[in-house]
Amino acid sequence: MDNLNGRISAWALTTFGKDFADCNAKEKYIALSKALMQDIVPRWQATEEKFEGRKRASYLSAEYLMGRALGNNLINLGQRQEVAEQLSAMGVDLNTVEQAEPDAGLGNGGLGRLAACFLDSAATHGYPLNGYGIRYEFGIFKQRFVEGFQVEEADNWLEYGDPWSIRRADEAVKISFADGDVTAIPYDTPIVGYGGETVNTLRLWKAEPLEPFDFEQFNLQNYDRAVKAKNNAETITKVLYPNDSNEKGKLLRLKQQYFFVSASLQDLLAKHKAAYGDFSRFAELNAIQLNDTHPAVAIPEMMRLLTSNEGLTWKEAWGLVTKTFAYTNHTILAEALETWDIKLYKKLLPAVYGVILKINEQLLRELKTMGVPLADVPKYEIIHDKRIRMAFLSIYGTFSTNGVAQLHTGLLINSELKDWYALYPERFNNKTNGITQRRWLLKANPELSAFITELLGSDRWITHLDELRKLEAYAEDPAVLERFLEIKQQKKYQLAAHIMEREGIEIDPHSIYDIQIKRLHEYKRQLMNAFQILDLYYRLKKDKNFKIVPRTFIFGAKAAPGYVRAKGIIKFIQEIKELVNGDPDMAGKLKVVFVENYDVSYGELLFPAADLSEQISTAGKEASGTGNMKFMLNGAPTIGTYDGANIEIVEEAGEENNFIFGLRVEEIEQIKATYKPSAEFRKAKGLKKVVDSLVDGTFSDGGTGMFKELHDALLLGADWHAPDVFMILKDFAAYREAQQKVNDAYLDRMAWAKKCWMNIAGAGKFSSDRTIKQYCEDIWKC
């Protein structure tokens, strides 16, 4: 890079008022990033010119779990080595500077990380895809553990500013709610593709008041009123997924959804109109993808903007809407198929609610024309039982509905949305999720990346992951497998050092690293994993001759602030951790770790070091999963159910190279009406003792009643579900047996290495490059 030293020094001097050498690590990170932006922005501008007149896709998502940008951008620009050398000459370690960057607090789980991977893949392969979302000031939350309980703290990721974003105040738009108007200010972040030839845009909206300060109220000494509008507006973009256990929280969530959707649509429509004069070519030049139902309000909002603001007829507007929008469904969980109480829409968005009413009336007329029996009409109603069904709105108002794994899409078509499929079979399709190998292998595991490039004689796999299939030729080569195991051991040492530093727990780098890292939800069954660990502990205590390969169980997960049962599971795992780690009999046998504040950067250490990937969701509940793909890519076999993308993983890597167990979807359907968990509770070895531990005084939940509630939910059910609704007790024995198979398989070092290697060789399908190519070619046509 030309004059990097001079640019860095200038940014340090003008931003912090001191020489670069005197800056702390965070300040050095800001100065370096600003210097790099001087190289990125011209490429960004050139990309805009390159795509002028082309059809573009816009991705509307409530989350973007981007991770750190500095290292990723340096890799994609091809400048990492050069910058590292220049900084070294200045006495600065690039790794230290990279570690100073906070993870952008813009996402929570797989939904947001998928969006980030898609943006990377689109830019890498030259597709015109821009993201739209919210610039959360504090993101989801920073997780701390206090006496084993999750405690949420504000994640001030913007404390030092964000050197990668540019505020575009000149492109602000007004958003109107029934209780007042706010301004949406766009902040643009460059998304640099690998090779640096394409730089797309992530546009995030920040809410600000129309008038930031009421001087009259201040003069009247009403100081709170003077800043009331500012506080009310900025609350909208404070936190991702605010607790919505009461009406205020629900209204805030609805405000968030409408805020970024309306701002994004106004932006798209204004730019198109400025370039083309009218909207006759809008659908020809634009595709808008709804990432789940959070942005589904875009359908009625676009109708409102086109009819009320732009003067189109209802028929003209509906034609544009249904040719422009596409919808990705990410779940079949009933509670996650989003619905809204109509009173909230009437209260906050009365004009939009009026549009939804008209859309619903239009649907009912069409159903009659199509010959749908009157008795079946409620199956389709968008407004039903005083609630708005956002998934139904998303299907009806779009030209494409896709699932995210073969099993998931099959369940949508044959079960959950079969009535809609019968109406519009041509709209349904599958797009199996993927991950970007640039972050999850090239960046996270440079040692394995270099070895793969050496074996293949090319780094083409960095942009064409299906090249990994050629690695199968080395699956029986002892020298190759030995080298792989050496790399895996190196990554395990690195993770052990990080856990010691961050968590204060010493782990055995020669033990099996058994890792479950994902959002905390009952269907993901972290509780079943916890039961299995406790059972293993009891077996080791009872039988001194019982031998196992030393095992380190690692969890990472955040529970939503209002999800009390999920928080109870975290506390239970923490109690098991204290029991196991505090018992001298377990030294050299078992260790439990629950990493604090799991995020993308922690994941970059966890995935490469893993020996075993825990993907144990109840069959039919995990739409796809992407963590399973990251583990696979880094050479960790899956222990998991026949669920989500696990099915496709074992198809690609071989079931013999993974550990599949438990009930399948069709088996659950057959037994769920007559299933009695109390019988299972007593039949499965070791199960009763671990379940009883929730209520027999073995562990303390601090008097909260959390553990009894968990216990009763399993055996008695709750007012909203049957007992053991996620089949934890039913699958326990099979899971226990699968874990024994893992133990036995690990004893044969070379055979285990082959399983790992075949997973890497089979990972080519799971690149987000393949997924985004399918979106572009099959859905967006761009």
Catalytic residue ranges: 330, 518-519, 524, 626, 630
Q: Which 3 state secondary structure label does DSSP give 687?
A: helix
Cα–Cα distance measured from residue 688 to residue 682, given in angstroms and rounded to the nearest whole number: 6
The torsion defined by the Cα of 495, 499, 500 and 505, in degrees rounded to 10, comes to -120
Pairing of strands 149-153, 325-328: unpaired
CA 580 to each of CA 342, 532, 545, 590, 728: distance values in angstroms, whole numbers, following the listed order: 50, 13, 18, 7, 22
CA 438, chain centre distance (Å): 17
End-to-end Cα, the chain, rounded Å: 33
Residues present in the chain in total: 782
Burial 568-578 (b: 16+ CB within 10 A, else e): bbbbbbbbbbe
Contacts 24+ apart (CB under 8 A), 719-724: 722/672, 722/675, 723/676, 723/677, 723/678, 724/675, 724/677, 724/680
* Closest C-alpha among 307, 295, 348, 263 to residue 61: 295
Residue 163 has, within 13 A of its CA and on its CB side, a CA count of 27
Tell me the helix, strand and coil percentages in the chain, rounded to 5.
55, 15, 30
Cα–Cα distance measured from residue 189 to residue 120, given in angstroms and rounded to the nearest whole number: 12
- Residue pair 503/595 in contact by the 8 Å Cβ criterion: yes
Which residue type sits at 517? I
* Counts for the chain of helices (H) and strands (E), in that order: 33, 21
Cα–Cα distance measured from residue 612 to residue 511, given in angstroms and rounded to the nearest whole number: 11
Conformation bin of residue 617: beta by default, left when phi > 0, alpha when psi is -120 to 50: beta
The contacts of residue 462 (CB under 8 Å, 6+ apart) are 194, 437, 438, 442
* Closest C-alpha among 484, 723, 746, 706 to residue 575: 706
* Closest C-alpha among 462, 446, 454, 761 to residue 604: 446
Conformation bin of residue 635: beta by default, left when phi > 0, alpha when psi is -120 to 50: left
The DSSP annotation for 259-299 comes to HHHHHHHHHHHHHHHHHHSSSTTHHHHEEEEEESSTTTTHH
- Residue pair 334/725 in contact by the 8 Å Cβ criterion: no
Cα–Cα distance measured from residue 657 to residue 758, given in angstroms and rounded to the nearest whole number: 7
- Residue pair 453/647 in contact by the 8 Å Cβ criterion: no
Strand partners, 592: 553
Cα–Cα distance measured from residue 588 to residue 131, given in angstroms and rounded to the nearest whole number: 48
Cα–Cα distance measured from residue 173 to residue 261, given in angstroms and rounded to the nearest whole number: 12
